[in-house]
Chains A and B, each alone.
Chain A
Amino acid sequence: MRSLISRWLATSVPLVFGVSMLTFFLGSLVPGDAARAILGLNADPDAVATLHHQLGLDRPLWDQYWSWLIRALHGDLGTSVASGSEIWSDLGARLPVTLWLIGGSVLVAAIVGVTLGVTAALRAGFVGRLVDVVALLGASVPVFWFALLLVTVFAVELRVFPAIGYVPLSQSPGQWASSLALPVLTLGLTSSAAIAKQTRDGVRTQMQRDYVLMLRARGVPERTIVFKHVLRNAGAPVVTLLGLLVVGMLGGTVLVEQVFVLPGLGGLAVDATRAHDIPEVQGVTVLFTMIIVTVNLAVELIHRGLDPKARA
């Protein structure tokens, strides 16, 4: 375990550092600057130049990055160039929304994906093919389109869920769940196809192994064989896939948060990028990177739990 954590730290710390540097220098290559974004399209060029100087954007890039890095190492991510608000405060307010969104989506993807996958693996014939088709459909439907479909049906027409917005859990658990339902279903269902396919292939492979024959010969019920033994052995690749899906979902949140107008990190990243608000972009990307390395660690730990060989 100690070596795992050491290895994790040895790769994660340079990764976070590298991402912050890449974000800063690549962001600086994007045409324009925060001064123009703040003052608007028809601003006086002299006013833009003055603000450009006031914001320190005329300092050498390495100097700007170094200042940011030193402050960041002391736990100060600075303030947003565009809104003037504290970046830690922005991140803190938005992190729970994104975590709930991704957490809920992973849960939906896992439950739906595994259920469909197991069903497809165990049922040949029409049911199996139907599940395959449904899974394929989920993989090929664009997230944006699916989100609009859900809004139209369940919010605009049936009025079951709200079309936009987020209600914090502390404010009203019921409204919180309601506000997350459609976004979670959007991300979760579109991600479940990959899980279904992986589960189906894994379960099919495991079902042909000798130990299944042995268990059947010993009279172990089929349900126990599938859920206690087969799924455990087929589960490791699924967990790996779920980890990858989380990383993919971080990108997906950008779209979903926009359609459902959720105050999450994805929307913050988009707004900050548009406003050339480099400190805010830095804050979001560093946080995203930290989420990703944490998920990687979690996947590794679960792997060890499922597969004794991985502990060696």
Chain B
Amino acid sequence: MTELIQALIFGVLTGSVYALMATGLTLTFGVMKIVNLAQGAFLILAAYLCYTLWAHLGIDPLLGSLIVTVPLGVLGAGVYRLIVERVQRTDHGLTIVVTFAIALVAEAIIALVWGPDPVTATPAYFNKAFHLGSVSVPAAQLYACLLAVAITVLLQAALRRTWLGHAITAAAENPDGARLVGVEPKKIGTWIFAIATATTAFGGAALSFLYQFTPDSQDVWIGLTLSVVIVGGLGSVTGAFAAGVLLGLAESVTSTYVSVRWAAAVPTILILLVLLIRPQGLFTLAARQDAAA
């Protein structure tokens, strides 16, 4: 029983971090229908920035993420206005190619700046754990989980209760109608990219002290975050959170009771099941999507 509880705790904690990393992709993929393959590179860039703030200035990665959101937000806006938006006008399908190219360039630049060696931040709490009887709750993962919950709540509130949030939702559901009421898609697209890229700061912060990473670590994380978005449903921030937790739980339980090797196949199996049973994603607002169609 203890083993099961421990596996479930780990699943929730790990899954919430997956969700945190997938938040930005949920917005660009879900709302703008752009598969931003550069999101993994932005995540690694954020991790390196948080790591650098910790290594050189002693700033805790969780606090450092607040600083890192600013340059990443600017980067996201710049990438959209200068590259993605122009390509999108020519052929929407080409956006996946151009974001892949951006990911490759970003990886090369990161390698040039920080080198190929694996790095990781080790804040004071990284090797601490809370013990509840024979069950352990790692402090670092608990803090990352709390950050994920906070970001999800804040983002969801912003989408539902601010003008920008309403504009983003409107542009996603009915671009022509949104334009009629003064919502400029180009401007909204810039905001979405800026917010989506800025949120990678939080996922990057968690990554910086939970795992070792190198410039090419993006390959691992982009696949995982895409899985979260597909399982959760396009454009649903809370759906992405739930999907991340589900994925974490499935991996953890599979590792514990089946095999670590099978755990690596869990994202793929989940995607296949979701596409077969509920193609719109487990937690997305299917009625809204249908209405828009």
Do they bind each other?
no
* Chain A residues with a Cβ under 8 A of chain B: none
Binding site for A on B (CB under 8 A): none
